[in-house]
Structure 1
Amino acid sequence: MDSIVNKLTEIEDAASAIVQHAEDQKDALNREYDEKRRAFDAELEQKTEARLNAIRAELESRTSSILDSQSDSSTELIRSLRKEYEEKHTEYAREILKRITEV
């Protein structure tokens, strides 16, 4: 009878050791998974930030280029209008006077 009890005790001890080993492996795998997930998240965040910075820089460059182009265009238009005024201001004044006096 003692031998049966001893065998059962050995089996129970072996089963407990197996369960404990499985728990230890599970904990190790969980730690490894968490570490890999954190590394993946950090890498993804870094890549995302770099991509966002590149998009921002490109957008700022395009915006600056458009604004410079519009500024140059506006400056040219103002210059053209001033030149036309310088050349034709007397004619404009006569036309305005003529329209006022016709009424």
Structure 2
Amino acid sequence: MDSIVNKLTEIEDAASAIVRHAEEQKEVLNREYEEKRRVFDQELETSTQKRLDDIQRGLDIRISSLLSDQSDSGAETLWALRKDYEEKHTEYAHEILKRITEV
């Protein structure tokens, strides 16, 4: 009977040791997992921020180009209108006077 009790005690001790070892391994694996997750999150944040910065730079360049084009176009239109006025202002004045006097 003592030998059965001793064997059961040995089995219980072995089972307890296995459970302790599994819990220790679980702790180690949890720490490893948390570290890997932290590194992944940090790398993801860095790459996302870099991508956002690249997109923002591209948009800034595009907007600057569009504004420059519009400014150039506006200046050309203004120059064309001034040139037209300088060349035809007398004709415009006669046309305005003619319309006023027809009424």
TM-score range, shorter chain: over 0.9
Q: For 1:95 and 1:14, how far apart are their aligned partners in 2?
A: 113
* Residue pairs, 1:92-103, within 5 angstroms: 92-103=92-103
Post-superposition, which runs of at least 4 consecutive aligned residues in structure 1 deviate over 2 A?
none
How many matched pairs? 103
**Residue aligning to 2:36:** 36
**Residue aligning to 1:86:** 86
Letter in 2 for 1:22: A
Offset at 1:8? 1.1
Offset at 1:70? 0.5
**Residue aligning to 1:11:** 11
**Residue aligning to 1:56:** 56
Please list every run of 5 or more consecutive structure 1 residues that lacks an aligned counterpart in the other structure: none
Q: For 1:70 and 1:7, how far apart are their aligned partners in 2?
A: 92
**Residue aligning to 1:76:** 76
TM-score of the superposition, structure 2-length normalised?
A: 0.96
Offset at 1:3? 2.1
Q: For 1:4 and 1:51, how far apart are their aligned partners in 2?
A: 68
Offset at 1:78? 0.3
Offset at 1:49? 0.5
Q: For 2:50 and 2:22, how far apart are their aligned partners in 1?
A: 41
TM-score of the superposition, structure 1-length normalised?
A: 0.96
